[in-house]
Amino acid sequence: MENRSGTMKRNIISLFGFLLLILLVSSCGRDESGQLVGVMERPTWTGLNPYGMVYVPSGTLHIGQSDQDIFNTYTQKPKSISIQGFFMDDTEITNNEYRQFVHWVRDSIAHTIMGDFKEDEFGNEQLDWEYGLDYSSEDLDEMYYEGDMMLNGKREIDTRAFDYEYQWVDWKKAAHDKSESARASLINKESFNIFPDTLVWIRDFAYSYNEPYTRNYFWHPAFDDYPVVGVDWKQAKAFCHWRTKLWNSFRGEAEPNTEEFRLPTESEWEYAARGGRDMAPYPWGGYYVRNAKGCLLANFKPGRGNYPEDGGLYTVKADAYFANDYGLYNMAGNVAEWTETAFHPNAYAHVHDLNPDLKYDAKDDDPESFKRKVIRGGSWKDVHYFLQTGTRHWEYQDTTKSYIGFRCALTFLGRSIGDF
């Protein structure tokens, strides 16, 4: 009995000593025991669950046009690829969501005019967002149309000044540059107007009365939940950059750096559109665009001159119709969507089979063919061929259309959900 008691006392003393050692190690931030325990006081990582996004798990799919399009299979040969898990917006970015970006830029300009800055802990000047803005103030008159630019004397903001500037790193150049050039040469700067081109509703259609949509589609609350259009490829990328900045400012410096919001690659888009149904021609999995009751399953042009048969004359709400098996809405129809990928007719022949993508940063003086970017999904004005998950199409990166929008993606960090 005494031996057992003595053993218990020794065990308690040993446990107390071990706990004391842990306390000492954690208090000084480094290990003093001489053991390999890794860097102490690392931030915890509990994963992400971004609002409005759904998780698309890692997996394999066969990309390429369906057998119904025989001639395109000659240049877009089917290929088996693997995709890393990622998050994707469950709907296209809506007018109201993009308006949050526009208002942020507008407020930044107003704060700058007002000289409304404060210093952070490092002494750098930052905009004081807590300071309220009065847009009726005469101090902000330079943001408005004046003189003969005014219509019926109405005070309206001049959106031509809504420029957004951001930086991005050319990782491909960094990986292949053997000259060890200065880091500054790898950093690219972009600055351009981010206000949607509302005139697309007139420009896209000759001899057609669409002026009400030009005046109202982006601003009227009736269209808040409709997909934003009139946004070119670079504006979509600027939105993703701003969204990353917004997310990181909320999480704070104590959280680990996250991946950046971005446009999905073409392969990610096709994989997500299939909803886990490999080789499915449409997001709902079937071979037809109508269900058993004869109802159309997406917003497109079902017949010549018959736009409203599917329930929408132009676009419809971003969450209209049924979602696919991943929970993604309108991966077919409504608006076609920008992807990150540069368009090349024979891209499938040379891209990698692991997270394939083809990137090219087209310059302003490049040939027009270099500025083509892949769009996917078809739109409200397209026939159902363009709604197929394997159909590839493109548009110039600096053009805006009344039938092209976008949604964001975010790479999942860590092992895929559900993996062992």
Assigned domain for 303 exists: yes
Question: Phi, psi (5° rounding) for residue 288?
Answer: -130, 160
Q: Which amino acid is at 373?
A: K
Assigned domain for 3 exists: no
Q: Rounded to whole angstroms, how far apart are CA atoms 33 and 22?
A: 9
Assigned domain for 318 exists: yes
| Six token digits for residue 370 | 């270099």
Assigned domain for 44 exists: no
Is the torsion defined by CA of 365, 368, 370, 373 positive or negative? positive
Assigned domain for 329 exists: yes
> What is each CA distance from 165 to 23, 55, 186, 203, in whole angstroms?
47, 30, 17, 27
Q: What is the pLDDT of residue 395?
A: 97
Domains identified in the chain, total number: 1
> What is each CA distance from 135 to 96, 144, 218, in whole angstroms?
20, 10, 20
Q: What is the pLDDT of residue 420?
A: 43
The residue count for the chain: 420
Q: What is the pLDDT of residue 109?
A: 94
Q: Which amino acid is at 272?
A: A
Assigned domain for 310 exists: yes
The CATH code of the domain that includes 279 is 3.90.1580.10
Q: Which amino acid is at 258?
A: T
Structural domain for 227, as ranges: 54-94+206-411
pLDDT less than 50: residues of the chain: 1-2, 21, 24-25, 420
Q: Rounded to whole angstroms, how far apart are CA atoms 117 and 112?
A: 8
Q: What is the pLDDT of residue 1?
A: 47
Q: What is the pLDDT of residue 252?
A: 67
Assigned domain for 31 exists: no
